[in-house]
Amino acid sequence: MRIKVKKLHANAQIPCYKSAGAAGFDLHACECVCIKPHSVGVVPLGIAIEIESGFEVQVRSRSGLALRGISVLNSPGTIDSDYRGELQVILMNHTDADFVVQVGDRIAQGVLARAFCAAFDEVEILAPSERGEKGFGSTGI
């Protein structure tokens, strides 16, 4: 599948895969951003994309950054097929030091995925299951 990419900023980079077997493509910052300790920052990518209906791009943390305490806050974030605005990534700095993003830094990865749409039927009763209404932690640690 082809993803159409429009550069919105001179510093923007077209996403790319770093290896033949990579599931995720790199997303690059197009401007410098300083994220304070234990804070959230938004990093612009300077691009907009067009993908086919029935697909989404999931924005995920890069493992190397996550190991250093920097993660995509709403991972995976979703870029819907009908969104045409600038892509931005919400990063969380879990560390005690400033995290400075430089122009061109690989700050997240995108994964193309199918997005199914469901039809919803309102009912009075749901079929029973073994788990039932047991919620968080009900299956143990």
pLDDT digits (tens, 9 = 90+) for 44-88: 999 999 999 999 999 999 999 999 999 999 999 999 999 999 999
Q: Give the per-residue pLDDT at 123.
A: 97
Q: What is the pTM of this model?
A: 0.89
Residue type, 47: I
Contact in structure between 87 and 47 (CB atoms under 8 Å): yes
Q: Encoding tokens for residue 116?
A: 């199914």
DSSP 127: P
Residue 134 burial (C-beta neighbours within 10 Å; 0-12, 13-18, 19+) = exposed
Is the model's pLDDT at 112 over the cut of 90? Answer: yes
| pLDDT over 90 at 141, yes or no | no
- The architecture in CATH of the region 4-114 reads Distorted Sandwich (2.70)
In DSSP terms, which residues pair with 39 in a beta bridge? 93
The alpha-helical segments, DSSP class H, found in the chain are 63-67
> Would you state the pLDDT for residue 27?
98
